[in-house]
Amino acid sequence: MQVSQILHQKGREVVSLTADASLSEAAQLLSRRRIGAVVITEAGELAGILSERDVVRALAADGAGALARPCSAYMTGAVATCTQENAVEALLAMMTQGRFRHVPVLDGSGRLCGLVSIGDVVKMQIEQILAEAANLRHYIGSAG
Ligand code: AMP
């Protein structure tokens, strides 16, 4: 299974903020959109990723003052990305090894074209397993 199949199902919207947006804006966006991470852009390019975990770390390190500081102060700049052609299994290995739950997807020109979360991967895999089980039941039922 390829990453493109997940995007086909969930859509290609990437929720993003610019690097100078405040941590408070990021927290409000994560809450409003019910998501776990936001992509950070600078001059239209991918500059980082900021997840709810970064918000917690920022508050633990700098207290409430962190909320007025820019996302660039707390985001992860070295973002692991994938392409639509990557296998979902490889994506899962990347997430497990890197200990993160979100991976932005880039197209052939290096532009953002989606974001996959570990929740999307698990949902897709469960659907696949259920479909395979139904096919097997049908096969066994029609064999006799
Ligand atoms: P998450 O598990 O996605 O909430 O993220 C845990 C930590 O990994 C946070 O510090 C994120 O900024 C960072 N992170 C999330 N996604 C990625 C990614 N694709 N590449 C690199 N770091 C990431």
pLDDT digits (tens, 9 = 90+) for 60-88: 999 999 999 999 999 999 999 999 999 99
| Predicted local confidence at residue 144, as pLDDT | 66
Q: How far apart, in whole angstroms, are the C-alpha atoms of residue 39 and residue 47?
A: 8
> What is the pLDDT confidence band of residue 114, given thresholds at 50, 70 and 90?
very high
Output the CA torsion 89→12→19→36 (10° steps): -60
| Predicted local confidence at residue 143, as pLDDT | 75
13: region left, alpha or beta (phi > 0 left; psi from -120 to 50 alpha): beta
Give distance in angstroms: CA of 10 to centre of ligand 1. 20
| Probe target for ligand 1 pocket from 76, 97, 116, 122, with the most ligand atoms within 8 Å of CB | 76
Give distance in angstroms: CA of 18 to centre of ligand 1. 17
Q: Which of 42-46, 102-106, 123-127 has the highest mean pLDDT?
A: 102-106
Q: Between the CA of residue 61 and those of 31, 55, 58, 67, 69, what are the distances in Å? A: 21, 10, 5, 11, 12
Range 96-125 average pLDDT: 95
Range 38-49 average pLDDT: 96
| Predicted local confidence at residue 142, as pLDDT | 85
Does the model's pTM come out above 0.85? Answer: yes
Residue 19 scores a pLDDT above 70 = yes
* Phi, psi for residue 78 in degrees, rounded to 5: -90, 90
Mean pLDDT of the chain: 95
